[in-house]
Structure 1
Amino acid sequence: MQGANVSRKPPGLPAIEWDDLRYFLTLAREKSLSGAARSLGTTQPTMSRRLELFEKKLGAVLFQRRPSGLELTGTGRQILDYAGRMEDAALAAERIATGSSAGLSGTIRVTSAEWLGARVLSPLLAEFCTLHPEMNIELVTDTEALSLTRRETDIAVRFGRFEQEGLMQRKIGSLPFGLYAAPGYLKAKGLPDFRQGGAGATVIAMNAALAESVAETKWLRHHLAHAHIAFRSNSRDGQAAAAVAGAGLVCLPARLAGAYPQLRAIETPAPVPSRDVWLGFHRDTRGIPRVRGVVDFLAERTRRLR
């Protein structure tokens, strides 16, 4: 047809669907069939079959199977770059499309650390739901941070600033920490001798994988360097429960320690470092009323944390 500008797929070029790339990207990030299957809510045989069909469609091997997991081939690495750009564009279009939603209605997913979600955010978000009955809030608490850029969550509340690009963020508070112990422990061990680096004392600490990411680790090394670490846990509530049972001294957020009346605050030569609380959301969603509504509500209600 003369004058028509019709875009056609070149002969022989395989038709790549977005789902092909979505499965490919998840495999590249998780580096295993089982991990990718869990992430996408499917089965390992399905992931294996999708990868086999995608490689057959492209006529190229995208991953090498290694004992340590899946490793991208040279072709796979090239496709990963383009697939990532396509994902960014698709997610941006989705965020803009959802921006047309008017009013405080719909679903918002919020993610945070487990104890922060349970002790601080849950009561606040429950209050928000009462004020806005058309809203639905999903609170996900996990040690693995969900991605704002990939729309795994709408709003994230974390300790420390966000490093991802394209995000809006604000500091919404600062949580004081302290050193605590149960009366039973204090009766058996007494108060720690800070001048002797806590020699003879036992402490409860964060598990090794997360120890360097929490502020009290350096404080414990400085003030209780000779204390014995008797118990580790990545759960703050788990640490508090162990302290109640007499396992040792523990650094806890004052707000969380207050939920365990059996614990006693210990006077320290220097304050246990507080933790700044930051709220983040994607720049493309700042005009969505339900996102802005939850963000502003949490920022207002958490002013007392400052």
Structure 2
Amino acid sequence: MSRKPPELPATGLSDIEWDDLRYFLNLAREKSLSGTARKLGTTQPTMSRRLELFEKKLGAVLFQRKPSGLELTDTGRQILDHAARMEEAALAAQRIATGSSAGITGTVRLTSAEWIGARVLSPLLAEFCTMHPGMSVEFVTDAEALSLTRREVDIAVRFVRFQQEGLVQRKIGSLPFGLYASPGYLEARGFPDFKQGGADVALIAMNAALAETVAETKWLRQHFPNAHIAFRSNSRDGQAAAAANGAGLACLPQCLARAYPALRAIATATPIPSRDVWLGFHRDTRAIPRVRSVVDFLAERMPHLS
């Protein structure tokens, strides 16, 4: 007589619908109940109830509720990867069904540091949107790196190589730097004497926490070891504004300095190190037309902006 196999405990997994995952994905991206409710055209209480029901179905907590917003738990991050792939499969099926797969449509979320986002990438992305009217680009400039592996963004632009597993990266450019000061500063102090170690020089530099990791700041300290650091900022635009108003000498990306007409370039004894620009995206998205189109466009256009 054969034994009947033991029954597994009911988890409610069979009751999960695509809408459950769609709401979950939007919550993970918006990080707030109210923001997701506005995006999906519903109410915050409805979003809260849907999240509670989904967590009950799974038997797991997906988000931690914090003052700063919703933060994915370890379980939530694991489910996010699978849900994102399901979303892409659903969208691909929809494109085929509607005959829209021949065009490039949809939304791509991209992140970078503030200054390069405003000064370099935004004009390029505006051109891209004009070329592809079916596309929508959501651009997030951030102080802390958003995660590609957790699908917080589709594409990231950074000044260092990406270290996470599962990512594809491309060097898309190299930004030259220059030494700059205002006419008022140069009139008051004169051009710097590189042979004197900068005893009479006021410098503008990165915050102390970043100073040892930024090549151009190291260059400044090497050539002006006796200089006074008059102003520090982790904002490139902040440094440029301080230099334009006479605070001191600043090493700045040339494309940023051009946005400040008051700045004057200063010839240097040795070249200032340039900064490589890296673009990264998750390997699972490399075949997605909307992501690939943005990647290829930026890789083609960025090298021409130095």
Q: Shorter-chain TM-score: what band?
A: 0.7 to 0.9
- Return the offset for 1:246: 0.2
Does 2:151 match 1:151? yes
- Return the offset for 1:94: 4.0
CA distance in structure 1 between the partners assigned to 2:33 and 2:222 by the alignment: 45
- Return the offset for 1:193: 2.0
Tell me the equivalent position of 2:135.
135
Q: Is the 8 A contact 1:147 1:153 kept in 2?
A: yes
Does 2:14 match 1:10? no
CA distance in structure 2 between the partners assigned to 1:219 and 1:4 by the alignment: 75
- Return the offset for 1:207: 1.6
Tell me the equivalent position of 2:279.
279
Tell me the equivalent position of 1:29.
none
Secondary structure at the residue paired with 1:143? coil
CA distance in structure 1 between the partners assigned to 2:142 and 2:220 by the alignment: 25
CA distance in structure 2 between the partners assigned to 1:303 and 1:264 by the alignment: 24
Letter of the 2:162 counterpart: F
CA distance in structure 1 between the partners assigned to 2:234 and 2:33 by the alignment: 25
| CA-to-aligned-CA distance 1:206-240 (integer Å, 9 cap, x gap) | 12233333221211121111111111111111111
Letter of the 1:174 counterpart: S
- Return the offset for 1:90: 3.8
Tell me the equivalent position of 1:203.
203
- Return the offset for 1:196: 2.0
Q: Is the 8 A contact 1:95 1:284 kept in 2?
A: no
TM-score, scaled to structure 1: 0.74
Secondary structure at the residue paired with 1:225? coil
Secondary structure at the residue paired with 1:149? coil
CA distance in structure 2 between the partners assigned to 1:98 and 1:207 by the alignment: 44
Q: Is the 8 A contact 2:174 2:303 kept in 1?
A: no
Q: Is the 8 A contact 1:99 1:285 kept in 2?
A: no
CA distance in structure 2 between the partners assigned to 1:210 and 1:39 by the alignment: 28
Tell me the equivalent position of 2:229.
229
CA distance in structure 2 between the partners assigned to 1:216 and 1:39 by the alignment: 36
Matches within 5 A, 1:202-281: 202-281=202-281
Does 2:100 match 1:104? no
Tell me the equivalent position of 1:32.
none
CA distance in structure 2 between the partners assigned to 1:40 and 1:209 by the alignment: 31
CA distance in structure 2 between the partners assigned to 1:116 and 1:224 by the alignment: 27
- Return the offset for 1:4: 10
| CA-to-aligned-CA distance 1:52-101 (integer Å, 9 cap, x gap) | xx9xx99xxxx9xxxxxxxxxxxxxxxx7666544444444445555555
| CA-to-aligned-CA distance 1:171-195 (integer Å, 9 cap, x gap) | 1110000110001001111112222
Q: Is the 8 A contact 1:91 1:150 kept in 2?
A: no
- Return the offset for 1:42: 6.7
Secondary structure at the residue paired with 1:198? coil
Tell me the equivalent position of 1:163.
163
Letter of the 2:187 counterpart: K
Q: Is the 8 A contact 2:178 2:272 kept in 1?
A: yes
Tell me the equivalent position of 2:67.
none
CA distance in structure 2 between the partners assigned to 1:288 and 1:143 by the alignment: 28
Q: Is the 8 A contact 2:217 2:251 kept in 1?
A: no
Aligned-residue RMSD, C-alpha: 3.9
CA distance in structure 1 between the partners assigned to 2:104 and 2:208 by the alignment: 42
Instruction: Give the fraction of aligned pairs with identical amino acids, expressed as a percent.
Output: 64
TM-score, scaled to structure 2: 0.74
Please identify, of 86-95 and 235-244, the stretch whose mean Cα deviation from structure 2 is larger: 86-95
Structure 2 spans left out of the alignment, 5+ residues? 36-44, 46-50, 65-72, 96-100
Tell me the equivalent position of 1:67.
none
Q: Is the 8 A contact 2:110 2:156 kept in 1?
A: yes
Q: Is the 8 A contact 2:179 2:251 kept in 1?
A: yes
Does 2:172 match 1:172? yes
CA distance in structure 2 between the partners assigned to 1:118 and 1:83 by the alignment: 32
Tell me the equivalent position of 2:40.
none
Letter of the 1:260 counterpart: Y
Letter of the 1:179 counterpart: L
| CA-to-aligned-CA distance 1:86-138 (integer Å, 9 cap, x gap) | 44444444455555553311111111111111111111110111111111111
Q: Is the 8 A contact 2:106 2:135 kept in 1?
A: yes
Tell me the equivalent position of 1:113.
113
Change beyond 3 A, Cα 1:115–1:41: farther
Structure 1 spans left out of the alignment, 5+ residues? 27-37, 64-79
Letter of the 2:167 counterpart: L
| CA-to-aligned-CA distance 1:32-53 (integer Å, 9 cap, x gap) | xxxxxx954679xx9xxx99xx
- Return the offset for 1:10: 2.1
CA distance in structure 1 between the partners assigned to 2:108 and 2:4 by the alignment: 44
